Structure 1
Amino acid sequence: MPQRSPWHQRRIAFLADTTALILFFTTTGIINERFIAGMAWDQVLQARLLGALLMVPVARPYGLWRDWLMQRATRGRLSRLLWDSLALVSFQVPLYAAIIASSGASGSGLLRGTLGAAAMMLLLGRPYGAFLNGVRRLFGLPAGGAKPMSLNS
């Protein structure tokens, strides 16, 4: 198999991380916004469209952030679970709060939505990490965390 150029590797990594983030969090976002935050379907649609637009520029930086944090995890399940959850909550919850606020959530709905997202991301950190690694494998990339993929590789 021919060696890929660094530029090609970066493009593939960007596409893999973006695909994973959009697929996974569009689904979970709909559940949170409609059934936990109590947003109307038109607000959910607006939040998901805005979310998808915002996921494009943040997916790869999140992937790099996760890879960097996951270097601290041991092979143990609990360690990987904790570091994946920490990565997701620390990066995504502030962005998510801004998305639903700009889509019409306010007051207690904004608070419930943000807390719901934080709880979901704590629970979904490791499943998303595994999903991201699976998508990366489909794109012919190594899984992140153990050996981080960098912008220079």
Structure 2
Amino acid sequence: MADTTALVLFFTLTGVLNERFIAGMDWQEVGLARLIGTPLMIITARPYGLWRDLVMATSGEAIFGRPKALLFDTLALLSFQVPIYAAIIWMGGASGAGLLWGIVGAAVIMIFCGRPYGLWLEIVRRWYGVGQPHKERSGRFA
């Protein structure tokens, strides 16, 4: 439930902003994309949380000498969410240049939101009283 709450709140806001102001979708298309996106976010929130935990847990000292939470939160988000988002806005009516700019916009948003979303996810998990598995296993992430 924590992963779902975090994902739906965070990415509904960023999705609306991207769809309307970057992809140039009209409000009806934005509404349709959100109607399509919300159930998909609900379905994919926990798998993404597990994916992020795996990426964060395997990103440690053996690779870079010390963990790089900013980099790995960003990579986890880009690799999991951008393809899903592309499908959402395509089904919502984006096409051609609008679809391309929407995907590029989402990738840029994911680059800037990777770590903030990772921190937000950890905050929401604490509100729900659940731990962060990657922290519990390794104790290395801040």
TM-score by length of 2: 0.89
Structure 1 residues 39 and 130, CA gap change in structure 2 (3 angstroms): same
Q: Please list every run of 5 or more consecutive structure 1 residues that lacks an aligned counterpart in the other structure.
A: 1-14, 149-153
1:48 aligns with 2:34: yes
1:117 aligns with 2:99: no
The residue that corresponds to 2:94 in the other structure is 105
1:28 aligns with 2:14: yes
CA offsets 1:49-80 (integer angstroms, 9 cap, x no match): 11111111110000000000001344999810
Q: 2:83 is matched with which residue: 79, 94, 118?
A: 94
Deviation at 1:139, TM superposition (A): 0.2
The residue that corresponds to 1:66 in the other structure is 52
Identity %: 58
Amino acid at match of 2:26: A
How many angstroms apart in 2 are the aligned matches of 1:89 and 1:64? 15
CA contact under 8 A between 1:133 and 1:143: conserved in structure 2? yes
How many angstroms apart in 1 are the aligned matches of 2:119 and 2:60? 15
The residue that corresponds to 1:9 in the other structure is none
CA offsets 1:96-144 (integer angstroms, 9 cap, x no match): 0000001100000000000100110011000000000000000001134
> Going by fraction, where is helix more abundant, 1 or 2?
2
Q: Please list every run of 5 or more consecutive structure 2 residues that lacks an aligned counterpart in the other structure.
A: 138-142
Q: Alignment RMSD, CA only?
A: 1.8
The residue that corresponds to 1:37 in the other structure is 23
TM-score by length of 1: 0.83
Q: How many residues align?
A: 134
Deviation at 1:147, TM superposition (A): 3.2
CA contact under 8 A between 1:68 and 1:145: conserved in structure 2? yes
SS in 1 for 2:28: helix
SS in 2 for 1:145: helix
